[in-house]
């Protein structure tokens, strides 16, 4: 592995739509990071199967974090050392899973744990839910708004369980989410769909991977998180610097450029020099 000054954690779901082409300039930005020898770790709500095509299209060869903090996926022979987890003040080898072409560091519990937890919680709360895995192909495409092949990939989950509420009121859904939190279950909105996972943590995924980079490089590389959401708590917990790609109107973009506050830089996503500003912030020494 080449020595590097920075490691980038990049939230890709709005930058690489499913399906669709990457956001303008994204390819060039990725190639620039590769030229500088800066690893770019993708973060996504999607599965390893769903992002296989985007990774090939952009020639992404670095690790990624999938299903919103459920697991870290390492390409074959990327690291020549084992991941470690801290237990009782000691570093011990972390269990891994082989999933397709990747070695996975599981943070959430693997399926069918989430599927069973969803069924149990729905029964307990007397709320009707419909898991995507239970739908016929045509129903699956209709409920996800995806083409059949993409919809089929979306429901083949390694960790979390996608579902929708059937006839539940807003109050019932709120009570369901509260009960999930009390049981250490993560219930996250996905547009009209929902996801349930057990033990998922994006910040923990990033910290585990950063520790691997530190051990492989024999030095600490600065971590830079790039997100398109104003919800930054995972990045604040795990990254040294943060870039928020905001989505102002064209009129707002004309009135202000990038805004920096502490270790957070906000860059309008529709500004013409956004990727140059982000690259400069990633490589900035201070």
User: Same structural domain for residues 94 and 226?
Assistant: yes
pLDDT tens digits, 158-217 = 999 999 999 999 999 999 999 999 999 999 998 889 999 999 999 999 999 999 999 999
Strand ranges inside 3-144, DSSP E: 6-11, 40-43, 64-66, 71-75, 84-87, 90-93, 97-99, 102-106, 129-131
Structure-token match 């999930």, residue found: 180
pLDDT value for 85: 66
Residue 1: inside a domain: no
User: Same structural domain for residues 228 and 260?
Assistant: yes
Residue 231: inside a domain: yes
Residue 263: inside a domain: yes
Q: Which of 198, 228, 252 is the last residue of a domain?
A: 198
Which domain range does residue 154 map to? 113-198
pLDDT value for 232: 81
Question: Which region among 85-99, 101-115, 140-154, 272-286 has the lowest average model confidence (pLDDT)?
Answer: 85-99
> What is the domain-level CATH number for residue 124?
3.30.980.20
pLDDT band at 20 (very low <50, low <70, confident <90, very high): confident
Q: β-pairing, 185-190 with 193-198?
A: antiparallel
User: Same structural domain for residues 94 and 36?
Assistant: yes
* Cα 182 to Cα 118, 127, 131, 273, distances in angstroms: 14, 17, 21, 45
Residue 266: inside a domain: yes
Q: Which of 154, 176, 198 is the last residue of a domain?
A: 198
User: Same structural domain for residues 38 and 180?
Assistant: no
Which pTM value belongs to this model?
Answer: 0.92
pLDDT value for 249: 61
The mean per-residue pLDDT over the stretch 44-49 comes to 96
pLDDT value for 255: 46
pLDDT value for 135: 95
Dihedral in degrees, nearest 10, Cα atoms 227, 231, 237, 242? 30
pLDDT tens digits, 210-261 = 999 999 999 999 999 999 987 788 999 999 999 999 986 655 544 456 787 8
CB 65 within 8 A of CB 42: yes
The mean per-residue pLDDT over the stretch 37-59 comes to 95
Q: How far apart are CA 67 and CA 73, in angstroms?
A: 11
């Amino acid at each position: 592995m080449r020595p590097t000054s920075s490691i980038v954690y990049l939230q890709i779901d709005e930058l690489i739509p499913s399906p669709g082409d990457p956001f303008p300039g994204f390819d060039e930005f990725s190639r620039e990071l590769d030229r500088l020898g800066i690893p770019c770790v993708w973060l996504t709500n999607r599965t390893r199967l769903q992002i296989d095509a985007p990774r090939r299209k952009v020639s992404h060869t670095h690790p990624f974090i999938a299903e919103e903090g459920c697991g870290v996926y390492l390409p074959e022979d990327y690291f020549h050392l084992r991941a470690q987890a801290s237990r009782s003040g000691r570093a011990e080898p972390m269990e891994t899973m082989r999933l397709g072409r990747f070695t996975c560091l599981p943070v959430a519990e693997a399926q069918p744990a989430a599927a069973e937890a969803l069924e149990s919680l729905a029964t307990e709360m007397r709320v009707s839910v419909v898991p995507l895995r239970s739908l016929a192909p045509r129903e699956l495409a209709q409920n996800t708004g995806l083409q059949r092949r993409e919809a089929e990939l979306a429901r083949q989950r390694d960790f979390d369980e996608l579902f929708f509420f059937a006839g539940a009121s807003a109050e019932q859904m709120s009570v369901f989410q509260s009960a999930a939190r009390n049981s250490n279950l993560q219930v996250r909105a996905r547009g009209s769909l929902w996801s349930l996972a057990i033990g998922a943590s994006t910040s923990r995924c990033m910290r585990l991977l950063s520790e691997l980079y530190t051990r492989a490089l024999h030095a600490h590389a600065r971590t830079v998180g790039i997100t398109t959401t104003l919800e930054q708590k995972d990045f604040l917990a795990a990254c040294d610097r943060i870039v928020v790609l905001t989505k102002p109107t064209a009129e707002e973009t004309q009135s202000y450029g990038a805004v920096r506050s502490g270790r957070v830089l906000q860059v309008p996503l529709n500004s013409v020099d956004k990727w140059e500003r982000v690259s400069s912030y990633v490589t900035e020494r201070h």
